[in-house]
Amino acid sequence: MRFVPTPVACKLTGLSTEKLREWTSRRAIVPADVRPKGKGTAAKFSWQSVLTLRVAVLLRDQFNLELQAHKTSFDGLRTMLGENSFLSLWGNRLVLRPGGAWSLVDADKLPVVGDAIVIVLDPHLVALRDGFALPDASDGQLDLFSLPAVRGARRGSSSPETTARRHSA
């Protein structure tokens, strides 16, 4: 399983280091997968934890939800994500129903009965794909070298520095 350290998790979630520590340690809304071994060491996070944190940020910022009240719901979300592969999530919606129950719904079969909050997953999966160097479902095939730099170069989005290096070699 791949893990990212605290600085990368901060970048992927948009949380400051202090806020990430508060959410993962002090308030334990979404605990770190690997706790820091001591002072000066970073906690480590799986893609499931980072996705759960991104959903928590979305619920706080877009829907003004109080997160502490949903701690058990986030535990359930992380468990559900752990039971699904990263590739299987593409094209799905995450649905939060009253009482904190989560479900995955295929975008083509979206009719949700009753009240719910529906979250489009693909933008979050793009961020995780690039941050964790995970595969992209749109390719239909796993990459042999799944690095963000290789991915960008393959799709023709090379930077001027990369182009200059290629021409000078």
Within a domain: 138: yes
pLDDT digits (tens, 9 = 90+) for 3-35: 999 999 999 999 999 999 999 988 889 999 998
Q: 166: alpha, beta or left, given left = phi > 0 and alpha = psi -120 to 50?
A: alpha
Into how many domains does the chain fold? 1
Which pLDDT value is given to residue 25? 87
CA dihedral 26, 123, 94, 70 (to 10 degrees): 20
Condensed to tens digits (0 to 9), the pLDDT of residues 44-70 reads 999 999 999 999 999 999 999 999 888
Tokens representing 151? 């991915």
168 is a domain residue: no
pLDDT tens, position by position, 94-119? 999 888 899 999 877 766 668 889 99
* Domain enclosing residue 124, as ranges: 4-157
What is the tens place of the pLDDT at every residue in 110-165? 666 688 899 999 999 999 999 888 776 655 554 555 454 444 544 444 444 444 44
41, part of any domain: yes
State the DSSP H helix or E strand holding residue 154, giving kind and residue range, or none if neither: helix 148-154
Is 162 contained in some domain?
A: no
Cβ atoms of 32 and 52 within 8 Å: the answer is no
Which helix (H) or strand (E) element contains residue 118?
strand 117-120
Answer for the pair 64, 22: CB distance below 8 angstroms, yes or no.
no
- Give a yes or no: residue 169 inside a domain: no
Determine, yes or no, domain membership for 23: yes
- Residue 70, in any domain of the structure: yes
Flag whether 8 is in a domain: yes
* pTM confidence score: 0.78
